[in-house]
Structure 1
Amino acid sequence: MNAVNERLLWPWWSQSAMDATSRLLEGGDLAAAGARHEQIEACEQLAAQQLAAGRAVMMVDCGTGALETGYAALGLERGGEVLVASHSFRATVTAMLPRGLVPVLCDADPDSGGIDLRDAARHVTARTVALVITHTWGRPVPLDAARALADRHHLALIEDCSHAHGTQWCGRPVGTTADVAIWSTGTTKMVTGGRGGLLSARDRQVWQRAMVLAQPKHRAQLVEDPALRALAATGVGHNRRAYPLAAVLAADHLRRLPHTLATKGERQTAVEALLHRHLPALTPLPAPAGRTAGALYKWHWRAGPSLPAIGDVVRALRAAGIRANAPARPLHEAPLFTDPDLGRALGLPRLPATDPGSYPGTGRLLQRLVEIDTRDMYDPLPEGDPDPYAAALVSAAKSLRTSTDRSVMV
């Protein structure tokens, strides 16, 4: 097996976290139905310290649940339009649909990978109620410009930081500029409990609304607003309680987050130097503008014109043991948006028709782009060991030269 493939793949957890989950299982308290829960509150406090600059953080069942709760807690009017990037994770957009909100897809910035704020400004109408920014792949959207656009048009600002745990823009943590911010702690994120989500809100009333929407009965009855406290006795149809096992595991990753970010940064620098030496026709996307802390959740290399079709590039890298894929296609190509009436069968609002030619920045961003899964980059190389990416890139370069020579001969 190639040495790259032999690397330990994220996620993993410390022995102390594994022991804590065993104690929870032995105790049998997995419902977290009370007003307080030690492990969940500990995870929330760590998240406030590591991610949100001390702002209160609520843990819920998943990142999508955090988004749904955030949209609901903001009290956005049904039928209101929400500006969001065409190049974004699907849940950032689909989580607003049950609230009757209408996503308006905007172009992506080909340099940052996030929403093009100038294009977003062109989509503002009298019906626009919110702007969503996603720090895609850990590449931050400029926070000052996003806040200024939202304030200029009296829009709510939502930050999806699910790829950006520990990321800062110009010294400011992402998630602390928006009215509502969320982080996923699921799947293979840099902080994960297998499943979970975190939510923070700038306004205390929005926070209390989110608590009642997501945490019915015991915990939500801690809110101060009498009317919301009365609603908390029953809830309003949602149950987004966090899972204690996930809280223990995510807290373990929050404690090691500085080490994770430093390790990934060092590994990225080393591998990009090897890439430049052995396969310079693949060029990493430039470092995110304005990012002063953090690490990339996934890396992206652009294939130069001397290389064959992108599918051949991906296959050569994978054959050499590098965890490569083509990035996900943009939302404006998905059936939900190409057929505006498709969601009506589920009672969803009719979405605006999309014109593929309206997203040139998204096209430039994704053109001949290769996505590198970084799950083998969470621990440093043992001292003195050769970097397995060196041999893998040499092998991939040889394969690609052979493929290119064959295509020239044909």
Structure 2
Amino acid sequence: MTQVKHNQPAILGGVPAVTADHAPANRWPLLTQEDERAVLEVMRDGNISTHPVIRKLEKDYAEFTGRKYALAHHNGTAGLFAAFYALGLKPGDEVLVPSATFWASVVPLLWLGAVPVFCECEAERMGIDPEDVRKKITARTRAIVVVHLWGLPGKMTELLQIAKEHSLKIIEDASHAHGASWRGRPCGSLGDISVFSLQGDKLSPGGEGGVFLCDEYDYFEKAVCLGDITRIIELETPARRFAATSFGIKTRIAPVSAAIARSQLRRLWENNQRRNDNLEYLSHALEKLGFHTFLAPPHIERVYFEYLIRYNPERCILPRDVLIEALRREGCQVAVPRYPLLHQQPLFTEGAWKEIARPDPESPVPEYDPNVLPKTRATNETLIKLPSFPNAGRDILDQYIHAFEKVIAGAEDILQHHAPQNV
């Protein structure tokens, strides 16, 4: 009887599969005495505004990615705004963007008067879909935003080719992808301009921060004039004449954040390896149960900022909300994706974006329809978010696997007793 109870889904009265403590398994960031020493060094120096640790962080990221220029910002959003500005985007310029991403990949465009054009996300990796990108290029298109969602690099072969054919620029949002690579090239080196976030949840956190990266001096110069007045006097061009005023925004990272970010970057590979080992172990087990776990193809080294899986309705008869509830009853921490699709948000669907972008009334103005992008919507409705287990042992992973096995094996009984009202 006890064995039956352990194999019976908890939602049907069985014993929950997951009893291990989630707190140590999910602890992140992992702050150490090394981080503490780095912060104290800044504090004891007394320069808590322009400390040399900022330049050291920039040098670290330039070497990490192989880029010529790096400029640290107070967050990734500011870095992305600087990227859009440095490209010279003007009011009415169209930029092709994904809908399945954090708002900072898109919304800063509005402050330049640029127009986001939402594209489908492909189901294999949930990156922006090259096929849909091609369809949406117009005479006004200037750039493509590529986001390596959750740490899985997008389809860069196709996207780079499209950009080359149509003379478009690529802004690479690598905020989820510290340590990932595509065909041996590190993420952060794949765009005309690339940006990392150093926010506290990220794989190489600094609390708050961002890093802007490029190889063109002109882009770097514009970002400096926009965001760091202390650096303008050092520029090698007539832009030095703006040293007294800058271009009106100050986005320099705080030295304490830079110190933490440098210290964390030194341990990136160790931390990524632990997380990757855990999630690849879990993924191989869940693949056998019919889930798509976004394992990387051979030419890609992925990392795991977050861990999402996609269930196949042909292999699992449970609707997503019932599946999630059944797994929660087993003790699993599961949820729907935390990023709502941007093209369905009131900022766009209710036209509030115009208050920011202030489009020319004589120019064509897009209307954002929440019902477009059917492939993205369909895929998003099959995604389930699990912990990324940055500090877990095998015990909790095995319990998760057992929880999934119980729920899948008992799916027919669960559906019979817990079907939604509209099923």
Instruction: State the TM-score, normalized to the length of structure 1.
Output: 0.88
Task: Report the counterpart of residue 4 of structure 2 in structure 1.
Answer: none
Task: Select which of 13, 20, 23 maps to 1:6.
Answer: 23
Flag the 1:188–1:127 CA change in 2: closer, same or farther, 3 A: same
Matches within 5 A, 1:216-365: 216=229, 218-226=230-238, 228-275=239-286, 280-281=289-290, 283-289=291-297, 291-305=299-313, 306-327=316-337, 328-339=339-350, 341-346=351-356, 348-349=358-359, 352-365=366-379
Between stretches 15-24 and 128-137, larger displacement belongs to 15-24
Flag the 1:290–1:128 CA change in 2: closer, same or farther, 3 A: farther
Find the residue that maps to 2:172 and give its secondary structure: strand
Distance 1:101 1:114 in 2: 21
Between stretches 351-360 and 121-130, larger displacement belongs to 351-360
Distance 1:396 1:110 in 2: 22
Q: Deviations over 1:104-138 (max 9, x none)?
A: 11111111211111211111111111111111111
Instruction: State the TM-score, normalized to the length of structure 2.
Output: 0.86
Flag the 1:123–1:240 CA change in 2: closer, same or farther, 3 A: same
| Alpha-carbon distance, 1:14 to partner | 2.3
| Alpha-carbon distance, 1:165 to partner | 0.8
Kept in 2, the 8 Å contact 1:5–1:321? The answer is: no
Matches within 5 A, 1:11-410: 11-32=29-50, 37-50=51-64, 52-216=65-229, 218-226=230-238, 228-275=239-286, 280-281=289-290, 283-289=291-297, 291-305=299-313, 306-327=316-337, 328-339=339-350, 341-346=351-356, 348-349=358-359, 352-374=366-388, 376-377=389-390, 379=391, 381=393, 386-395=394-403, 397-398=405-406, 404-409=412-417
Task: Report the counterpart of residue 15 of structure 2 in structure 1.
Answer: none
Kept in 1, the 8 Å contact 2:153–2:302? The answer is: no
Q: Which amino acid aligns with 2:233?
A: Q
Kept in 2, the 8 Å contact 1:161–1:183? The answer is: yes
| Alpha-carbon distance, 1:103 to partner | 0.4
Distance 2:414 2:190 in 1: 53
| Alpha-carbon distance, 1:373 to partner | 3.0
Kept in 2, the 8 Å contact 1:83–1:106? The answer is: yes
Q: Which runs of 5+ in 2 are unaligned?
A: 1-17
Q: Which amino acid aligns with 1:111?
A: E
Kept in 2, the 8 Å contact 1:14–1:252? The answer is: no
Kept in 1, the 8 Å contact 2:111–2:356? The answer is: no
Q: Which runs of 5+ in 1 are unaligned?
A: none
Q: Which amino acid aligns with 2:268?
A: L
Find the residue that maps to 2:69 and give its secondary structure: coil
Q: Which amino acid aligns with 2:127?
A: G
Flag the 1:97–1:20 CA change in 2: closer, same or farther, 3 A: same
Kept in 2, the 8 Å contact 1:111–1:365? The answer is: no
Distance 1:185 1:344 in 2: 30
Identity of aligned residues (%): 28
Distance 1:29 1:72 in 2: 30
